[in-house]
Amino acid sequence: MRRRQFLVLSAASVGGVLVYSLDRKVSRLAAQDKPAAGQKIRIPLRFFTEGEALIVAAAVARIFPTDESGPGATEAGVTVFIDRQLAGPYGRDKHRYTHPPFDDNAAEEFGYQGASNPQQVYREGLKQLAGFDKLAPAEQDAKLKQIETGVFFNLLRRNTIEGMFCDPQHGGNVDMVGWQLIGFPGPRMTNFAQIEQYKGEPFRPKPMSLAQVVDHPNKPTEEET
């Protein structure tokens, strides 16, 4: 077994959000434990090395940046989300047909035909981004521009959107920042009274996560074997 890796972030950068303890339970940094300046948070990683996680964190922050239009991938915990996805059946391609022969010349209409699973695509892709987290934002954008038509970037972009807007039980969309950004209320059990009421005016109920709405959310797919 490899040595356990952690993503170490400054507490200020993730201020007051959820972190994941070693037993995979979610715990909250209590508001009264407001982190002192310079304090670090160690988030256990399931798939990435710390170095990889820092590159992913920097890249997703350029894909879905934190800016004047609102919070982004950093606040939503997208890196932690992707790490958990890659460690699960999705990362291992459990539900993709992976029998050979692989035809690399198939037309694009046939979809991804590569032999590499998402774990392998990330591992290889991140090698090309060595030192990425140390670059200035403009240099980072230039680097991503170079790879934006490739398999790795497109997977990273898709996973970033997933991590922004998934139910918080998957480790992304922390504190439902993604849902708040776009006005999505989450799993709201009934809109019976409102469905015909609103005619072009915003209806923005306070978001609730699945765990807040039902007693027993189904086990997330990333926890399946």
Q: Which is nearer to another protein, 7 or 84 (CB)?
A: 84
24, 127, 188, 206: which one contacts another protein (CB under 8 A)? 188
Nearest Cα to Cα of residue 61 among 82, 44, 85, 42 = 82
CB contact at 8 A, 176 and 207: yes
196 is written with which tokens? 């015909």
Report if residue 150 touches another protein, rule: CB under 8 A: no
Minimum distance between the CB of residue 140 and another protein, rounded to whole angstroms? 10
For tokens 């990683």, what's the residue? 45
Piece in contact with another protein (CB under 8 A), picked from 8-16, 30-38, 50-58, 165-173:
165-173
CB contact at 8 A, 151 and 114: yes
Core vs surface per residue 180-218: b (16+ CB within 10 A) or e: bbeeeebeeeeeeeeeeeeeeeeeeeebbbbeeeeeeee
Q: Which is nearer to another protein, 49 or 169 (CB)?
A: 169
Piece in contact with another protein (CB under 8 A), picked from 40-48, 49-57, 110-118, 126-134:
110-118
Report if residue 136 touches another protein, rule: CB under 8 A: no
Considering only residues 1 through 60, tell me which ones interact with another protein, judged by CB under 8 A: none
How many residues sit close enough to another protein to count as binding (CB under 8 A)? 69
Report if residue 132 touches another protein, rule: CB under 8 A: no
Report if residue 218 touches another protein, rule: CB under 8 A: yes
37 is written with which tokens? 């300046």
Q: CB atoms < 10 A from the CB of 74, how many?
A: 20
Inter-CA distances, 68 with 52, 65, 76, Å: 28, 9, 16
Residue 87 three-state SS: helix
Report if residue 213 touches another protein, rule: CB under 8 A: yes
Report if residue 212 touches another protein, rule: CB under 8 A: no
Would you tell me which residues interact with another protein (CB under 8 A)?
A: 62-65, 67, 69-70, 72, 90, 93-99, 101, 103, 106-113, 141, 144, 148, 157, 161-162, 164-167, 169-170, 178-179, 181-185, 187-192, 194-196, 198-203, 210, 213-218, 220-221
